[in-house]
Structure 1
Amino acid sequence: MDRQKRISSLSIPQSVAGGSAVDNNVSLKEMMDNMRQEFTDQINDLKTSMSEQAERINEQAEQIKHQAERIDELADEIKHQAEQIKDLEAANANLSASDKKTTAILQHHSTMLHALHRRVLLDDARALIASRYGFPINELRPGGQVVAGKPKTLQQLVRDVCSQLTKDNARWLHDDALKMIFDSSSDTLCLGGGCGSSCLQGGIGFSYQRPEFVCVANSNLEGGSLITAFWTSRYFQYD
């Protein structure tokens, strides 16, 4: 648009139309020089503009190249992180499996310790009864004595001990508690709250509950009545 304005401004002077031949030649020469200068300026402007555009294109090309390199770096980082995630997931799976195995082992050991602790408490109770009432320790086991040519049964042993208990101790040491204390067969080690066959005397199941209580006996007899037998430091004190 500027070019058209500049060209239109280069109109033939009035002197060319009505002047002498010399004047006309001078005027035409000036006009041609002006037009040549004008075109030269326009060409230079275009060259400058094109040069500036080329520089901007080069700068943008460099930026694109740098961004492409950064994208490649990010892709490598993402790939590396993905590998790390896989490694962590595998390690976590191994830890989870190991944790389950360890938990199972701990539960098994806890169950065994629970049963052994129960048996130790019962053996301590038997030792205290033997010491307090003057029974030989070997007699406080089924078969430890012979009656009428036969080994004394658990029921006979319990009956003999009950006959010697003081009134206060007899309140807490029921027959069922004494059966559990004196029955030292292998099945008396109750595991996980359940009991072996020798611990199920007359449908009564015993399980150790807390350290201060030797046992809690749940009976299915007599309409589901609850029989509780305690042996605590309150009733049997160590000397």
Structure 2
Amino acid sequence: MGTIMRYGSGWAVAGLVIVSLVAGAAWISTSEAQTRQDPGATSPPPRPSITALVARPRGAVDWQAAVGGLRQSANVGESLAANLNREQVDKTAVPILLPRDPKLTAGARIYSFGDYYTITADTLGGGVSLSGTTATVPAGKPLKVESGPEMLTVQRTVDGQLASFVRFGVLYTVEIRCDTAGDPRCVDDNYVLGLVGKTTAVVMGKAARQAAGLGG
């Protein structure tokens, strides 16, 4: 279970991370590898669905705050989201956060499961993933906890850095992955924290706008 730490008037949950498609793929890959190594196995173990991978409980979105963020973003968010699959955007029932970096979002791809989405983008020598969900799970290892009301946490991954934070009642993550171990973007948390600082543009598709009382 994660350790809960108090910072002033805010609570930082040190054991919360998002369940991503990458985690699901890794679990499936490991299971298949074990099956291949066991000649006596007759069938692979059951694969968990995305729903099973996302743990309960789910939080409530602060739609008033989200609408405020949407208005502050003006048309920037929609401009950044122009290349995203609109059908996937419209089915996303949580506010989508995008970095204010047109080069990064130009070739981005979104995969939505309603109250959970993930966006991937290729970068030179690596990749970036952005996710948002109302569901959380305990982390497998301690996280570096930053002070602040958004409960920002950072952890080193196998091939990069991952930051998670809470905004509008939604758990968001920003992850950088590098192809080369010595890539300075992944050696420390400076790059991922800078990316978090730029991830402020709010986008709402039809499902989110309806939930926020803005109509479709």
The normalised TM-score by structure 2 is 0.25
Structure having the higher Rg: 1
User: If each structure's helix is expressed as a fraction of its own residues, which one has the higher value?
Assistant: 1
Q: TM-score, normalised by structure 1?
A: 0.23
